[in-house]
Structure 1
């Protein structure tokens, strides 16, 4: 596979996809189709062992690397406590859970690794999927502080801060949105591109779904995405950002504001005219 040059002039000798918060590996089969190397980072030791068994051939071939560690923004200690949810593995998290739910978690001590150390170890990212409960914003800040803005990046929209960081600090201008609860329905037997060839693929429940041009529809600009997020609220949906494609140059939100202002001006002029006639 040839070298890839992104808009910043950084040449990527291979496509490396990072799955930060890999959980049980439901996204890995798709990522392995799309990359030369997939790096799965997961803190839960049991889930890592399951992924190693499930994708043993990819691990042995060197196409998949599984990092069993707590991903942190900056290295502080060689190990960190990770909180395993007793019933739902997808709710495992690095930040200490609120006291109201702490009884639902078991605490384990796991090797910690900074996000920049992981990137230096495996290479420049083509795509980063970020899904780390309660810690996405901290990782985004560290990536952008080090001027790491991959061609494709996604993060769960648990707070408006994620959107703000992508736009203001990351400099991304083109976006798509994937609804987490509807991935299996929206992307069942859908078309994905594999080495330039279209292939049918169905995404399982709780997976992150497709990224990049595999997500149908136009790329949105920041105004339009903000309006959608404001209407749908924050939650279980992923914001996808890219530096490789431009958004629709005409914002729907801008059109709406223009139309509102135009109608307001028209009404005011009519009211003034009516007032003069009455006088």
Structure 2
């Protein structure tokens, strides 16, 4: 009963505040187009193509980068009309520090395929090695230009993309998967590139994490835990945009379409430190969710 009362009180306090964001988000599309330097988005780590499809539906040109030969073949078929019309370009390469080739681990859980064998074999998942072509991210940007937004989710190699950027080639908006272990390193790199506004967005609730609610979440299990996360997603998160729902595994909204206010690097570093400590204290399976850093110059 105590947990239920605390959960209800905290939820009521926090669920009311973000409703003010709804009106602002209705105008996100217009603001994005106004601030855009171009109409290009990079989807680095395309996987099943759900993010690319969303970006295309918003009217952007998309450069997809996918290392898995199996997924790349499916993506060429899926986006054949867009490729033919010049709206979609697919690079079948892995992003690395050097041009050439490298061993790549294909996981049966496709989003875990990685240059890192430990990532591909999580939870004993079957995996196998293949050799793929690699490219430096800086050479890709040099060839295709600086995008309006760049989504990076390549299982352990996100930092390779950030390190390859300069103040001149850093896009207006960027997102990478947050490292629970050393995300502070990525925040330092992004800050050095001139990014001044940040958000941490949950890949489960598509909302910014609220420490008090996270603590309650850590006390729950089973249905109460699912119910709390569903309530957070419904009131604080973004479930759909422009008629498209965001399924589990997608990166969700981007740029000004992301929920909540932008924060300073110091504020986000503090929130990351809380999540890191919480994850270490409760265990990965107890926390049970992953997050993305969103950055704005």
Q: In 2, are the aligned partners of 1:131 and 1:155 still within 8 Å (CA)?
A: yes
- 1:5 Cα shift? 8.9
Corresponding residue of 1:255? none
Counterpart among 59, 62, 71 of residue 83 in structure 2: 59
More strand by share: 1
Question: What is the CA distance between 1:98 and its match in structure 2?
Answer: 7.5
Aligned to 1:187: 238
Output the CA distance in 2 between the equivalents of 1:111 and 1:98. 20
Single out whichever of 100-109 and 19-28 deviates more from structure 2. 100-109
Instruction: Report matched runs for 1:51-130 at 5 Å.
Output: 51-75=75-99, 78-85=100-107, 87-97=108-118, 104-130=126-152
- Alpha-carbon offset, residue 163 of structure 1: 1.8
The change in CA–CA distance for 1:125 and 1:73 in structure 2 (over 3 A counts) is: farther
The counterpart of 1:228, out of the listed 258, 271, 274, is: 271
- Higher normalized helix content (fraction of residues): 2
Report the alpha carbon displacement of residue 19 of structure 1 after superposing the two structures with TM.
Answer: 0.8
Deviation at 1:36, TM superposition (A): 3.6
Give the superposition deviation at 1:119. 1.5
| C-alpha distance in 1 between matches for 2:119 and 2:40 | 35
Post-superposition Cα deviations, 1:27-81, rounded to whole Å, max 9, x if no partner, equal: 0111113454201101111111111222221111110111111111332xx2222
* 1:174 matched to 2:197: yes
Structure 1: unaligned runs, 5 residues or longer:
192-198, 244-279
Mark the CA change 1:35 to 1:127 in structure 2 (over 3 Å): closer, same or farther: farther
Deviation (angstroms), 1:216: 2.3
TM-score, scaled relative to structure 2:
0.68
Whether the aligned pair in 1 keeps the contact of 2:98 and 2:134 (CA below 8 Å) is no
The higher relative CO (CA closer than 8 Å, separation ≥ 6) is in 2
Contact preservation (8 Å) 1:136, 1:162: no
Do 1:157 and 1:163's aligned partners in 2 also have CA atoms closer than 8 Å? no
CA deviation vs aligned residue, 1:103-134 (integer Å, no higher than 9, x gap): 84211111112212211222221111111111
Structure 1 distance, partners of 2:121, 2:113, is 15
Q: What is the alpha-carbon distance in structure 1 between the residues aligned to residue 50 and residue 163 of structure 2?
A: 26
Give the corresponding residue for 1:31.
Answer: 55
Alignment: residue pair count: 222
**In structure 2, C-alpha distance between the alignment counterparts of 1:31 and 1:208, rounded to whole Å:** 11
Q: How does 1:151-166 map to 2 (within 5 A)?
A: 151-158=172-179, 159-160=182-183, 161-166=185-190
SS of the residue 1:97 aligns to: helix
